[in-house]
């Protein structure tokens, strides 16, 4: 859902132009890299929903989340609602660790990946 806020402006999101401008101006992320980040967010949703190419999608998502954690959340401390100036790394760290678990564990036996690996 968060990726659709960035890429399409759904659910109160900024949409692609404003999101890319925000990443460029606030975090100095070049627009092509920001576009690749949006692609990773959307690809990961489709991939994990279908259970197809989950490990590469999870790896891309883990890298994306790591960047978000260090560039945006790290300076706000650990706790999600601790400092009052922004969210800390607590939630992003949990998402990062879940993505890393999928990189190592894969999608499971009932996924398309699991069926193709038999």
Q: Which long-range contacts (CB under 8 A, 24 or more apart) does 19-24 make?
A: none
pLDDT digits (tens, 9 = 90+) for 33-45: 999 999 999 999 9
The H or E element containing residue 88 is none
Q: What is the pLDDT of residue 36?
A: 97
Q: Which residue has the tokens 């945006």?
A: 72
Burial category of 54 from C-beta neighbours within 10 Å (exposed 0-12, middle 13-18, buried 19 and up)? buried
Report whether 112 contacts 55 (CB < 8 A).
Answer: no
Report whether 72 contacts 40 (CB < 8 A).
Answer: no
Where exactly are the structural domains of the chain? 2-116
Q: Residues of the chain whose pLDDT is less than 50?
A: none
Q: What is the pLDDT of residue 84?
A: 66
């Amino acid at each position: 859902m968060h990726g659709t806020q960035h890429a399409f402006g759904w659910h109160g999101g900024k949409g692609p132009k404003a999101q890319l401008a925000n990443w460029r101006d606030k975090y100095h992320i070049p627009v092509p890299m920001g576009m690749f980040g949006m692609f990773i967010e959307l690809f990961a949703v489709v991939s994990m929903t279908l259970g197809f190419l989950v490990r590469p999608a999870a790896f891309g998502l883990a890298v994306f989340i790591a960047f978000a954690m260090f560039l945006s959340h790290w300076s706000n401390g650990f706790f999600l609602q601790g400092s009052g100036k922004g969210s800390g790394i607590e939630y992003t760290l949990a998402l990062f660790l879940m993505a890393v678990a999928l990189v190592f564990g894969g999608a499971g036996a009932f996924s398309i990946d699991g069926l193709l690996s038999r």
